Structure 1
Amino acid sequence: MTTIAVIPGDGIGPEVTAPALDVLDALGLDARTDVLGHVNADTYLRTGRALSETDLDRIRPCRATLLGAVGDPRLGDTAYVRSILTTLRLELDLYVNYRPVKLWHDRLSPLREPSRRAVDCVIVRENTEGLYSGVGGSTRTGTDHEIAMDVDLSTHQGVARVLDFAFSVARTSVCLVDKANAVRNGGQLWQRCWRAAQDRHPHVATSHLYVDAAAMRLATDPTAFDVIVTNNSYGDILSDLTAALAGGIGVAASANLNPTTGQGLFEPVHGSAPDIAGAGTANPLAAILSVALLAEHLGRADQAERVRGAVAAAVARGHVTPDLGGSLGTKEAGAAVLAELARA
């Protein structure tokens, strides 16, 4: 039997994880869950460490981990969040961040032109290198002469493997997004790996845009894209932009994957949202759609499509939380998806 690790986390994380687990249970995937409810900010504040080696030993054998959200306003820096997210990504070598984006209903789009609203694309983001690698430092900190440096790290192996993954999930085309004209050394490496990847996948249409041009194109006509592949920081920004074009981060799911080992971490991208934690109004759809990605990862594409169909039906009926124009609370919105699953 497959074991799925679950980290509800902080803020609205436990609130949205609960209905997501209800959906997971309704799918009948022949899987058991191992809930690590203690991996949160309270543990970090008490012990100085949120994710122990014992916790990692429980997670490593699992093909999938479902994460709610991490982050707490009591902690003034990013060390706590990095101690969980970065640790999991590096320890499990989850080198692909996979962010599918789809407009679930026309009324959710901010675009005026109807013909350009139907976004249905994927952002493939390199997930372990780039500016988020943690390489860098500072000197003379806190003085007028302070110098700070963060290294935009790229390796041939890291770039080549994420490009190949992008081609593997393309339906029609892949667009490389970089800033090779300004970031010359890393840009040249990405361009060399890109040309080699094009040679390995000659039957897939390709294009290239600098990141500023890609942002403008996404904001005006996101229907032009199938798969966008890019580095860690550009992918972080562009994936949030595409989420906004599809209804907001309340419906934005993500997967952190290692296609070689078959391990994956699945999470909504909205964060812990401490301003609404406990209010019962958080949107559970991103967490539920993360379960769809998880089911797909486990080889149950049929069940993943059932979940997406149920989400689409609930959105069409207006059975959603206030951020999507509805009036339901978190539990009620989750129940609406369950009802659609049962109806289907």
Structure 2
Amino acid sequence: MSRYNIAVIPGDGVGIEVIEEGLATLEAVAKAHGGLSFEFTRFPWGCRYYLEKGKMMDEDGLKILRDFDAIYLGAVGFPGVPDHISLWGLLLPIRQEFEQYVNLRPIKLFPGVTGPLRSGNIDMICVRENTEGEYAGVGGRMFNGTPQELALQTAVFTRRGMERVMRFAFDYARKNGRQKVTSITKSNACNYSMVFWDEVFAAVSRDYPDIRADQLLVDAAAALFVTRPERFDVVVASNLFGDILTDLGAALQGGIGLAPSANLNPERKYPSMFEPVHGSAPDIAGKGVANPVGAIWSAQMMLEHLGEVEAAGVLMKAIADVLAGGEVRTPDMGGKSTTTQVGEAIRQKILIAS
């Protein structure tokens, strides 16, 4: 019997709704596959907690989370709480403290889903550096409220940080039968950090002669995501560029409600965290129409990370079958189904498969 202790942080807005569907789906997978079980521990942390307590999570929150097998997060963000408060009070400390230096985001256009492009051949994996770069949090402000006011936001690029995320990208390509890794930079303008990135990428790529390596400037990459998405296989990028390009990728795959992500500590020294890419969407929160596929797909990535490959495969097929069927769709995909109806359709496919 494999039993996993999962920390659950539903967060804010639609995060609460989609996470419930993800949990119910994990329970369905466990029921369908003997020898697998979960214990879920919920934490009320997020923006509502901040408005009540003045903090996004308990002061010993990171210590509490450390011993879990994984963390399942809904979304963070709520009107009245500035985004930099919510981000730096919960999400980024977890990523940095637990060395979740890989943000893994698959971008795939499933059969049955209509994307905005003529091309239907979209199937790439984005590996985003997740703990330093432009989101390192180094900087400050001076002379506030004066004509001389200034702000410094310093990007931090270390050889160790770049090399480990690049090696993950090449190892992922090799393990999963992918042929090419594309590095995204802006080294023509960022003549220190991005040139350094290019040099490290060139050095790392020499250790993987079986994998093609190429690189693009981020502006060219953004254009090619739209005009030639089929040219991309595995993409590796800095924190900022990876963040922006994967939101573009989510739109290409049919909408941000479909997009999953995994914040990975590949060495498994710390728990990894799994979350849909979408935010808390307060405009539709409580209406029961949020798309749960991104959250459920994130749960599927959690199963893969935990080593439950067979169960992960069953869940992935269930997601693909529901999307291919075209009958159960939330409004963001042009349908009229509720959040729960989509989740239940996926669970029914799991039941049939068992």
Q: Do they superpose with TM above 0.5?
A: yes
What is the distance in 1 between the residues matched to 2:295 and 2:83? 25
For 2:318, the aligned partner's letter is A
Deviation at 1:130, TM superposition (A): 1.3
- SS in structure 1 opposite 2:335? coil
2:349 maps to a residue whose letter is: E
2:47 to 22, 41, 44: 41
Is 1:175 paired with 2:178? Answer: no
Any conservation in 2 of the 1:104–1:315 contact (CA below 8 Å)?
Answer: yes
Once the two structures are superposed, the pairs formed by residues 237-316 of structure 1 within 5 Å of their partners are 237-261=244-268, 263-316=271-324
> Which of 213, 216, 229 lines up with 1:222 in the alignment?
229
Question: 2:330 corresponds to which residue?
Answer: 321
Does 2:140 match 1:128? no
The AA in structure 2 aligned to 1:16 is: V
- In structure 2, the partner of 1:51 is 57
The aligned amino acid for 1:63 is: D
User: Is residue 345 of structure 2 the alignment partner of residue 339 of structure 1?
Assistant: no
- Aligned mates of 1:206, 1:96 — CA distance in 2: 19
Question: What do the CA deviations read for 1:284-321 (whole angstroms, capped 9, x no partner)?
Answer: 00000000000000111222221121111112222121
- Work out whether residues 106 and 117 of structure 1, in 8 Å CA contact, stay in contact via their aligned partners in 2: no
Letter in 1 for 2:304: E
Verify: 1:236 aligned to 2:238, yes or no: no
Distance in 2 (alpha carbons) for counterparts of 1:46 and 1:68: 19
User: Where does residue 207 of structure 2 map in the other structure?
Assistant: 200
Deviation of 1:144 after TM superposition, in Å, equals: 3.2
Q: Cα 1:7–1:140, aligned 2, differ >3 Å: closer, same or farther?
A: same
The list of structure 1 runs, each at least 4 consecutive aligned residues, that deviate by more than 3 angstroms after superposition, is none
CA distance in 2, matches of 1:241, 1:111: 12
CA 77–290 in structure 1, closer or farther in 2 if over 3 Å, else same: closer
CA distance in 2, matches of 1:68, 1:75: 17
Out of 98, 123, 139, the position equivalent to 2:104 is: 98
- Per the TM alignment, residue 169 of structure 1 is displaced from its structure 2 partner at its CA by 0.9
> What amino acid is aligned across from residue 255 of structure 1 in structure 2?
A
Q: Quick check: 84-93 or 307-316, which moved more?
A: 307-316
| Counterpart residue identity of residue 119, structure 1 | I
Aligned partner of 2:166 among 143, 163, 168: 163
Q: 1:140: which partner in 2?
A: 143
* TM-score under structure 2 length normalisation: 0.93
Unaligned runs of 5+ in 2: 31-35
8 Å Cα contact 2:112-2:325 kept in structure 1: no
- The whole-number CA distance in structure 1 between the counterparts of 2:69 and 2:228 is 36
CA distance in 1, matches of 2:289, 2:185: 38
> Identical aligned pairs, as a percentage?
43
Q: Secondary structure at the match of 1:184?
A: coil
Residue 12 of structure 2 corresponds to 10
Q: CA deviation at 1:224?
A: 0.8
Question: What is the number of residues matched between the two proteins?
Answer: 340
Q: In the alignment, is the contact (CA less than 8 A) between 2:100 and 2:263 conserved in 1? A: yes
Structure 1 residue 57 displacement after superposition: 2.5
Closer/same/farther in 2, CA of residues 161 and 67 from structure 1, 3 Å limit:
same
The 8 Å contact of residues 48 and 78 in structure 2, kept in 1 or not, is answered as no
| Distance (whole Å) between structure 2 residues aligned to residue 12 and residue 43 of structure 1 | 16
Alpha-carbon distance in structure 2 between the residues aligned to 1:172 and 1:106? 26
The aligned amino acid for 1:163 is M
SS of the residue corresponding to residue 156 of structure 2 reads: coil
**Contact map agreement 1:125 1:235 (CA 8 A) in 2:** yes
Q: Mean Cα displacement is larger for which, 327-336 or 303-312? A: 303-312
Structure 1 residue 52, shift from structure 2 partner: 1.8
1:278 partner amino acid: G
Query: How does the TM-score come out when normalised to structure 1?
Result: 0.96
Matches within 5 A, 1:79-118: 79-105=85-111, 107-112=113-118, 116-118=119-121
Q: Which moved more, 1:240-249 or 1:257-266?
A: 257-266
For residue 92 of structure 1, what is the amino acid of its counterpart? F
Q: Does the CA-based 8 Å contact 2:77-2:83 persist in structure 1?
A: no
C-alpha deviation, 1:15, in angstroms:
0.4
For residue 245 of structure 1, report the CA deviation from its aligned partner: 0.7
| C-alpha distance in structure 1 between counterparts of 2:348 and 2:121, whole Å | 26
What secondary structure sits across from 2:287 in the alignment? coil
1:99-126 alpha-carbon deviations (Å, 9 max, x no partner): 01111135421112xxx32211111000
